[in-house]
Amino acid sequence: MEDPILEYQVLDAIHENGGQVTQRHISEKVGRSVASVNFALRLLVVKGLIKISGASPRKLHYHLTPSGILQKTVLAYNFLKRQSALYEEVRRDLLEKLEGLAEEGVKSASVYGWNPFTEAGILYLISQGIQVLAIYAEDPNDVPYCNRIPALNIADFKADCDVLIVLEPLPEDREQQIRSRIIACVPMA
């Protein structure tokens, strides 16, 4: 099958439902047409990754073979490996963009946006002797934890920092107001 994501999703749907799943259910779960799922199932049978049993077309049961279980694991591993490499590349890019701030004399920063890279960015800033004054977000409750750095609504932005590090797109209604006060911007999107 040329679509490893569809292959994984079909194998996963069969596995998590113990074979008690219809093509329509798989179609709804993976967001593909019933015809696409039917074609994928036929290819998986030919590859020896699933077996089909049942007396009538409406009462078919799908079962992963040992090869199917192994293939599902391999597909998941390969996906995570690619995602990990992408994560590392983006993280390195962010840290490179933040690298020169201390040399430029930046003493304090605030951060806008919480995503998987925010924590790495904050830790890097602190390690460079830059004080992080606040983490701004559309909804401060979306910031999972902040022990010593206050999480504030972007509507309450104060220009009391040397730079505002922007890690996700600013809200359109705030962009003009805030953008005039942004000294450094590290867009992640």
pLDDT at 133: 93
Angle at 159 between CA 155 and CA 162, to 5 degrees: 135
Task: State how far the alpha carbon of 166 is from the alpha carbons of 41, 96, 113, 151, 189, in Å.
Answer: 45, 15, 7, 14, 10
Bridge partners (DSSP) of residue 131 are: 108
Contact call for residues 48 and 69 (beta carbons, < 8 A):
no
Q: Which pLDDT score is estimated for 179?
A: 64
- Give the pLDDT of residue 180: 58
Q: What DSSP string runs through 109-170?
A: EEEE--STTHHHHHHHHHHTT-EEEEEEESSGGGS---SSS-EEEGGG----SSEEEE-SPP
For residue 48, what pLDDT is reported?
A: 95
**CATH (one of 3.30.70.100, 1.25.40.20, 1.10.10.10, 3.40.50.2300) for 4-74:** 1.10.10.10
Instruction: List per-block mean pLDDT (blocks of 10 residues) for the chain, which spans 189 residues.
Output: 87 88 90 92 94 80 93 94 90 86 88 88 92 90 82 85 84 68 53
Q: Give the architecture (CATH level 2) of 99-179.
A: 3-Layer(aba) Sandwich (3.40)
> What is the model's pLDDT at position 167?
85
Structural domain spans, the chain: 4-74, 99-179
pLDDT for 155 equals: 83
Cα separation, 75 vs 189, in Å, equals 27
Quote the tokens at residue 132. 């992080």
pTM: 0.60
- Residue 118: other Cβ atoms inside 10 A: 21
Spatial distance between the Cα atoms of 156 and 88, rounded to a whole number of angstroms: 32
Q: In the 8-state DSSP scheme, what is residue 59?
A: G
Cβ proximity of 188 and 168 under 8 Å? yes
Residue 188 has a pLDDT of: 46
